[in-house]
Amino acid sequence: MTGSLCIGIDVGGTFTDLFMVDDRTGDTFRHKLSSTPDDPHEAPVHGIREILEKAGRKPQEVRFVGLGTTVATNALLERKGAATGLITTRGFRDLLEICRQTRPHVYDLTQHRPEPLVPRRLRLEVEERVAGDGSVVRPIDLADVHRAAARLQSEGVASVAICFLNAYANPEHERQAVARLREILPGVTVSASEDLLPEFREYERLSSTVINAYLMPVMRGYLLQFQKEVQALGLAAEPVVMSSGGGVFSPDLASERPIDTLLSGPSGGISGAVYIAQMIDRPHIITFDMGGTSTDVSLIADGKVESNNCRIIDGLPIKSSAVDVHTVGAGGSSLAWLDGGGLLRVGPQSAGAKPGPACYGIGGVHPTVTDANVVLERLSQDYLLGGALRIDARRSAEAIERDIARPKGISVTEAAAAIIAISNTNIAQAIRFVSVQRGLDPADFLLVAFGGAGPLHAADIARELGMDVLVPPSPGVLCAMGVLTKDAQIDVS
């Protein structure tokens, strides 16, 4: 008898959520545990074991495991990818820094452009040239490729990006370079633009290829370890990964195309929200997913999820199909702080899962949105996660008193209320960004609030925007449930 259990997993920056359903009986099970940022595969594996034990079921009964993950996103934002080299057409090594020469923040004198993922010494050139119509102007010099590979090998790179001018029109030179590289550097991952993004727009194609190469070793190691641990549990099901575009695909493909997982977590939440909204015949919704680290909002009109083929993450353009979501640094673990002028700010810095909010008692000493909710008794004074996570309300009060209340000359309760108000304002602005700035009235949409902290803040935000609110059952694990609503999907161009 084949298994009947399906498990959806969403690995966030603070918590890992699991949703399990029995296809035969319709029984559902939910579980939530702290994420393990240092070893990201551990939390989902522990979660699978714990949810099966809680349900009294066996690993052999599982027929499907779907994983939504932020590993690639965090590696990019924290610059914790692999040492990466670049091989490109002679004369184009500095395109990665020249960019488009646009200045998105013209009047911000403190704005700094992000450092390239590949330093200049690892950006190497080879003799070759293809015209815009695909004709070969200058054949590739494979001796140049050999010398570049030897140089990158001596520098100890773990991954190489290959992007030649006009390779989208004629990829033959890139294919020859890839073949030579794999002969010389068998243990190094290679990402070629013709495999990843055979489209014109040279800078975006180069940037996307470099980001993909930068993330490949991280994602490959993570998914291999996750698959190994899942098999060790006794699960016969091959895990699949949630893509940024709203479908699922194989771990092997996710390892080759990690840029397609950069919005893996948010896409699961949107899928779950759309599924629930369809059940109550409400096609116009705005999703409000507030987790521990960030808040994601997305507008869905007529039940159709908008997609975006180019987005910028941390100043780096990425061409990859993804759900259209707007993210702000406002989560339960977002830090409250006073700027140089004494003004209260909330986020975008986050305490994450470790050291976490002060009330967790695992190293966090600065106040967060969660601490403010504890002080205002909007959260349990004793525990979260069904008793698995103890809460020390005294630590929350002490952190807010020391960092906010005393410097501002106000009470702890007033300071906590101010933290919540500012956090809500930041989220309301994000909702206006996806609605009002497109000429749409948010009051015409249903606010679907989920995530660990979404329902806690939804009423105040909806009141400010004149919206109705839907809080789905078990909103804290809706992203994990959303993984189970999607089919296999691959986005190519």
Euclidean distance between the first and final Cα of the chain, in Å?
40
Could you report the per-residue pLDDT of 195-224, keeping only the tens digit for each? 998 988 899 999 999 999 999 999 999 999
Could you report the per-residue pLDDT of 128-141, keeping only the tens digit for each? 999 999 999 999 99
Q: Is the pLDDT of residue 457 over 90?
A: yes
Q: Which residue has the tokens 């003004």?
A: 343
Q: Is 89 helix (H, G, I), strand (E, B) or coil?
A: strand
Q: Which residue has the tokens 């180019």?
A: 310
Could you report the per-residue pLDDT of 313-356, keeping only the tens digit for each? 777 888 888 888 888 878 888 899 999 889 999 988 888 777 88
pLDDT at position 51 is: 95
In angstroms, the CA 265 to CA 451 distance is 11
Q: Is the pLDDT of residue 387 over 50?
A: yes
Q: Is 194 helix (H, G, I), strand (E, B) or coil?
A: helix
In angstroms, the CA 308 to CA 169 distance is 24
Q: What's the predicted TM-score (pTM) here?
A: 0.85
Residue 470: pLDDT band with limits 50, 70, 90: very high
pLDDT at position 221 is: 93
CA of residue 199 relative to chain centroid, distance: 24
Residue 228: pLDDT band with limits 50, 70, 90: very high
Among candidates 340, 343, 375, which has minimal Cα distance to 358?
A: 375
Q: What is the secondary structure of 248-307 as a DSSP string?
A: EE-HHHHHH-GGGGTTHHHHHHHHHHHHHHHHTT---EEEEEE-SS-EEEEEEETTEE-E
Q: For residue 16, what are the contacts with CB-CB under 8 A and spacing of at least 6?
A: 9, 10, 32, 33, 34, 35, 36, 43, 44, 47
460, amino acid identity:
D
* C-alpha separations of 135 from 7, 175, 198, 399 in Å: 50, 15, 16, 66
What is the DSSP code (8-state) at residue 370? Answer: H
Could you report the per-residue pLDDT of 10-34, keeping only the tens digit for each? 988 778 999 999 999 999 999 988 8
Omega within 30 of 0 (cis) for the link into 355:
yes
Q: Can you point out the beta strands (E) in 141-195?
A: 159-163, 189-192
Choice between 227 and 328, residue whose per-residue pLDDT is larger: 227
Q: Give the chain's mean pLDDT.
A: 90
Could you report the per-residue pLDDT of 47-99, keeping only the tens digit for each? 999 999 999 999 999 999 999 988 888 788 778 899 999 999 999 999 988 88
In angstroms, the CA 124 to CA 299 distance is 43
Q: What is the secondary structure of 297-361 as a DSSP string?
A: EEEEETTEE-EEEEEEETTEEEEEEEE--EEES-STTEEEEE-TTS-EEEEEEE-TTTT--GGG-
In angstroms, the CA 228 to CA 14 distance is 24
pLDDT at position 244 is: 87
In angstroms, the CA 36 to CA 208 distance is 28
Choice between 309 and 471, residue whose per-residue pLDDT is larger: 471
CA of residue 66 relative to chain centroid, distance: 16
Q: Is the pLDDT of residue 1 over 60?
A: no
Q: Is the pLDDT of residue 299 over 60?
A: yes
| Sign of the alpha-carbon torsion through 160, 163, 164, 168 | positive
Residue 126: pLDDT band with limits 50, 70, 90: very high
Q: What is the secondary structure of 478-489 as a DSSP string?
A: HHHHHHTT--B-
Choice between 345 and 486, residue whose per-residue pLDDT is larger: 345
